[in-house]
Structures are given as structure tokens and as C-alpha cells.
Amino acid sequence: MLWAEGLRHAFNGGRVVALDDVSFSLTAGQTLAIFGPNGAGKTTLLKVLAGLIRPQAGSARVAGGRSAIGWIGHQSHLYGHLSVRENLLFWASLYGVPRAARGARATDVLARLSLTDRAEQPAWSLSRGLVQRAAIAKALIHDPQVLLLDEPFTGLDLAAAGELRSLLGALRGAGRVVVLATHNVDEGAELATDVAFQVRGRFVQYEPRGGRGPAEIADAYRRAVGETGGGRHA
Amino acid sequence: MRELWRQAWTIARKDLTLEFRSRTAIVSALVFTALVLTVFNFGRDPTAVSTLDLAPSILWVTFTFAAMLALNRAFQLELENQALEGLLISPLDRRSLYWGKLLANLAFVVVVEAVGLPLFVLFFNVAVGHVLLPLLAVIALATVGFVAVGTLFSAMVVRTRFAELLLPVVLFPFLLLPLTYAVQATARLLAGRPLSEVVGWLRLLAAYDIVFVAVASWLFPYTVEE
């Protein structure tokens, strides 16, 4: 459902390498957790997968195109003067959700994110954690086949983070493909079917998670990052 | 094509809802319009320069600068929480985004003009009743032209540091033609010249609209790519 082949991308005239020969493919039900230090190129990779950045080499493809992608990034993409429900209906319309189904779809997603009692509040009045929940609701409004998540746990309290983990687990069970990028191994390790360590744009390790727990993955990550001298670019 | 228009309408409706809720730009534009017309009205010496000589230029200076507020705001709305990024990830056709913004900007400018024109008539005591239809045609054609180009440039400059300053500068060369046509046509209409003298200017405005709406719609997708 998602293919990336030989992706390369650099900024500042080639001085900052964000992607260096990144290749992988994911099928239904797979969740890839990409761990890497700040500046490793995780966000660039997700933007390339989403079609926001055209890579300088290689190609990426998502089955179903843009309509199949749900995105949670550093920003919520919410309009402050629209209510949470109005925001969801707006995005549902852009993603081609049939008019008759939009209301029910919004109600369902709001309930899954425990936002029902906040539905009519303008987005500007929400706290940081609630904004993040609303952003997740926005990403799910069109029932995407592929979810691209960039540090999705940012701003969530423990309970909300737990709910998000449950939600992502359910989505994986329903055959969705999830790509999750984070610098925090504890947050994403349990969800993943596959784990990649990205350092200076390159996947220095990519393998199925197997039976490894967060602690083992964290050890492997520290070794991988240590061996390559960290993620910062020269 | 139907999907393109459906998406464009979704964008336009959202922009107009946001403007209706926040009322930031429309209030500024209306106050600006009233202020400029008031200042020009009391600042001129009617014995030195006749009203009819000044009025067309004043009308178009007012409309153009008020429209600039709409154009500046069009894509700044999308910077809030990086909504523009969300729009570009979504399956939204880039041309729909352009047409949606164009529709919302036109609605905004039409409201300003609907308030500005009666104020202009009131302050400058010019009779427009007998030329109202052709005058509205001039206003409509000129507005479509400069808003079409302005919407394109608004998207181009929005991610720069001095977008509000830059927009009028880059837009200026493209405003010269439609504004010149509009001022010439308005001057002839207000002076009571025969309509045959205005038809040529109307044709030029229509030609400008066709060319620049088509070019802007074609170029727009390239301006929003990262």
C-alpha cells in the first residue's frame, strides 16, 4: 500500500542531507515506527510520502493517492474561528466524504477522540492537548488507508496518549498502514510491526520489531545513533 | 470539472465564514474606504480642479487599496496552524484552491465596493443613475482582473517575511493596465460621453480578465508547491 524507492533529498544546496537512499514498502496492517534524533530527516520523509515535497531522487507512492492519506504533523491544520465539528466537516468535504455521511462520520470520530462535548467550541479556545486530539480527529475523518504521523504524542497527557495508542492499535488491526516518526522510543515501540532508525537521512537499521520490547529497541537505537555519531548534520 | 467547482466552493465558503466570524479585514477595508473618500472630499479644492476630473481616479485608488487588504488576508488565513500544508496534502485540486480563493476575494471586494460606491456618489455629488449599468460593468470587469492576478501573487508572497509589503509592489505592474482602462472608462461615463466611447475600454478589460484569469489559474499550482 505504500512504497518508497531510493529516496534522496537535501536542503541548502546539498549541505543538509535529509533523505539518503531510503527504500521500504508496507502492506496492510503494518506499522512502521521511525526513530531518529532531531534533524534526522523523519519529517522530510513523511512530507515526501504525503506528496508535500518532491524528492530530488527516487519515488514514493501511496495506493489510493492523496485521498488515502491521513496526516498528523507538528501543526493541527485547524481553523481557529471554526468549531471542531465545522473543521471536521470542512476537511471531510475536501476529502470527498459524501455529504450525507459527513455528519455521522464527524460524530463518530469526535466520540472516538473523547471530543463530543467540545464539538461546538471554536478551535482557538482548545488547550494544546485538545488541539492535538482534534488534529487526530481531522486526520481520521475520511477513514484513511494510510496514516502518516509525525510526533503524534506531542502535547497529549498520559490518558490521551494511551487512548491514541489504543486507537492506532485498532487501526492496525483494521488493516491500515501507519508510519510513525518520533524521537521518543518509548512512545512508538509497542505499536510497531517494523522499526527503522534514521540518522542523517539514512535508514541505518530497518527490521521487523519481532518480540522486542521498548527497552530492547531503545538499546538498539542508542547503539545505532552512537555508532553513527548522532543525527545532527555538519 | 464539477468536483473542481465543488471544492472551490468549499474553500470560498470556509474563507467567507472565517471572515464573517472574525470581521478583521472587512471592517478595516470599509473603514479605510470611508476614510479615503472623506479625506479626498474635504481635501480637494473644487474651484481648482473639477470633481469630474478627480472622481474616477479617487474611486479606483480607493477600491484598489481596499482590495489589497482582502488579497493580503486570503492566504494568511491558511498560515494559522499551517492549514495550507493540510490543503496541499489533501486531494484538493490546486486549481480549486485558486478558484475558491478568487471567489472569496471577489465577494469581499464586492462588499467593499457596494459600500464604497454610494459613499463616493454622496461625497462627490456625481450623478451615476443614468450610467449605472455600464459603470457596474466597468467595476465588475476591472475587479475580476486585478483580484485574479492579486490572488495569484498573494499565494506567491504569503510565505515571505514581508508579505503585506511585497504584495502591492509585485502587483503594481499588473494593476497598471486594468486600472488605466477602468479610470478611462469611468471618466467617460461620469462625463456623460456616449457609450460607444466606453465599449472599447470594456473590451480591453474583458480581454485582460480572460487572459489573466486563465494564466493565473494555470500558474497557481506551481506557486504553492514546497
Task: Give me A103's grid cell.
Answer: 455528519
Task: Give me A78's grid cell.
Answer: 485547524
* 3-state secondary structure (DSSP) of residue B126: coil
* 3-state secondary structure (DSSP) of residue A20: strand
Q: Is residue A190 part of a domain?
A: yes
Domain boundaries, position A128: 80-142
Do residues A104 and A217 both lie within one domain? no
> Which helix (DSSP H) or strand (DSSP E) does residue A8 occupy?
strand A2-11
- Predicted confidence (pLDDT) at residue A231 exceeds the cutoff of 70: no
In chain B the first and final C-alpha atoms are separated, in Å, by: 25
> Which helix (DSSP H) or strand (DSSP E) does residue B29 occupy?
helix B24-43
- Predicted confidence (pLDDT) at residue A148 exceeds the cutoff of 70: yes
Q: What pLDDT, on a 0 to 100 scale, did the predictor assign at position B137?
A: 95
Domain end call among A142, A165, A195: A142
Do residues A137 and A149 both lie within one domain? no
Domain boundaries, position B159: 2-223
Lowest mean pLDDT among A151-155, A194-198, B18-22, B83-87: A151-155
User: Which carries the bigger pLDDT value, residue A154 or residue B117?
Assistant: B117
Identify whether the C-beta of residue B7 lies closer than 8 Å to the C-beta of residue B96.
yes
Q: What pLDDT, on a 0 to 100 scale, did the predictor assign at position A233?
A: 45
Q: What pLDDT, on a 0 to 100 scale, did the predictor assign at position B225?
A: 75
Pairing outcome for strands A69-72 and A57-62: unpaired
pTM of the model: 0.88
Percent of chain B past pLDDT 70, that is, above it, reads: 100
Q: For residue A111, give how far its alpha carbon lies from the nearest alpha carbon of chain B (Å).
A: 23
Do residues A158 and A127 both lie within one domain? no
Task: Give me B96's grid cell.
Answer: 480549486
Alpha-carbon distance of B105 to A2, in angstroms, equals 38
Q: Which of A93, A95, A99, A154 to mutate to test the interface with B (most CBs of B within 10 A)?
A: A93
Do residues A233 and A120 both lie within one domain? no
Task: Give me A5's grid cell.
Answer: 524507492
Give the closest of B14, B21, B88 to A52, CB-based: B88
Cβ-defined contact of B18 to A82 (cutoff 8 Å): yes
Cβ-defined contact of A94 to B83 (cutoff 8 Å): no
Q: Enter the ipTM.
A: 0.87
Do residues A137 and A156 both lie within one domain? no
Q: Which of A111-115, B50-54, B98-102, B124-128 has the highest mean pLDDT?
A: B98-102
Surface of A (93-122) touching B: CB under 8 A: 93-96
- Predicted confidence (pLDDT) at residue A216 exceeds the cutoff of 90: no
Q: What is the mean pLDDT of chain B?
A: 90
How many other C-beta atoms can be found within 10 angstroms of the C-beta atom of residue A178?
26
Average pLDDT over residues A193-213: 87
Q: Which pLDDT band, with edges at 50, 70 and 90, does A210 fall under?
A: confident
Which residue of chain A is at minimal alpha-carbon distance from B225? A52
Do residues A56 and A87 both lie within one domain? no
Please classify residue A120 by burial: count the beta carbons closer than 10 Å to its beta carbon, then call 0-12 exposed, 13-18 middle and 19+ buried: exposed
Do residues A107 and A219 both lie within one domain? no
Identify whether the C-beta of residue B167 lies closer than 8 Å to the C-beta of residue B153.
yes
Cβ-defined contact of B88 to A75 (cutoff 8 Å): no
Residue A151 Cα distances to A37, A76, A123, A140, angstroms: 12, 12, 20, 16
Domain end call among A142, A167, A191: A142
- Predicted confidence (pLDDT) at residue A89 exceeds the cutoff of 90: yes
Sequential DSSP letters for B159-197: TSTTHHHHHHHHHHHHHHHHHHHHHHHHHHHHTT--THH
Strand pairing partners for A148? Answer: A71, A179
User: Which carries the bigger pLDDT value, residue A27 or residue A163?
Assistant: A27
- Find, among A107, A111, A118, A3, the residue nearest to A55 by Cα: A3
Residues A65-87 pLDDT 10s = 899 999 998 888 999 999 999 99
Cβ pairs bridging A and B (under 8 Å) = 69
Q: Which of A53-67, B119-133, B150-164 has the highest mean pLDDT?
A: A53-67
Do residues A174 and A233 both lie within one domain? yes
Average pLDDT over residues A112-136: 90
Q: Is residue A75 part of a domain?
A: no
Backbone angles phi, psi at B127, to 5 degrees: -85, 120
Q: Is residue A71 part of a domain?
A: no
Set of chain B residues whose Cβ sits within 8 Å of the Cβ of A77: 81-83, 85-86
Backbone angles phi, psi at A9, to 5 degrees: -155, 140
Q: Which pLDDT band, with edges at 50, 70 and 90, does B226 fall under?
A: low
Average pLDDT over residues A77-103: 94
Q: Which of B5, B85, B224 to mutate to test the interface with A (most CBs of A within 10 A)?
A: B85
Set of chain A residues whose Cβ sits within 8 Å of the Cβ of B91: 65-67, 94-96
Do residues A100 and A131 both lie within one domain? yes
Do residues A130 and A155 both lie within one domain? no
Alpha-carbon distance of A90 to B30, in angstroms, equals 28
Q: How many domains are there within chain B? A: 1
Surface of B (73-102) touching A: CB under 8 A: 77, 80-83, 85-92
Cβ-defined contact of A75 to B81 (cutoff 8 Å): yes
Percent of chain B past pLDDT 90, that is, above it, reads: 57
Give the closest of A47, A90, A138 to B14, CB-based: A90
Residues 6 or more apart from A222 whose CB is under 8 A from it? none
Q: Is residue A70 part of a domain?
A: no
Q: What is the mean pLDDT of chain A?
A: 88
Do residues A57 and A156 both lie within one domain? yes
Q: What pLDDT, on a 0 to 100 scale, did the predictor assign at position A211?
A: 77
- Predicted confidence (pLDDT) at residue A234 exceeds the cutoff of 50: no
Residues 6 or more apart from B182 whose CB is under 8 A from it? B60, B138, B139, B141, B142, B201, B205
Task: Give me A56's grid cell.
Answer: 530530488
- Predicted confidence (pLDDT) at residue B17 exceeds the cutoff of 80: yes
Q: What pLDDT, on a 0 to 100 scale, did the predictor assign at position A95?
A: 94
Q: Is residue A56 part of a domain?
A: yes
Residue A183 Cα distances to A132, A160, A199, B48, B128, angstroms: 18, 19, 11, 73, 67
Do residues A153 and A45 both lie within one domain? yes
CATH code, domain carrying A186 = 3.40.50.300
Q: How many domains are there within chain A? A: 2
Domain end call among A121, A142, A163: A142
Q: What pLDDT, on a 0 to 100 scale, did the predictor assign at position A228?
A: 65
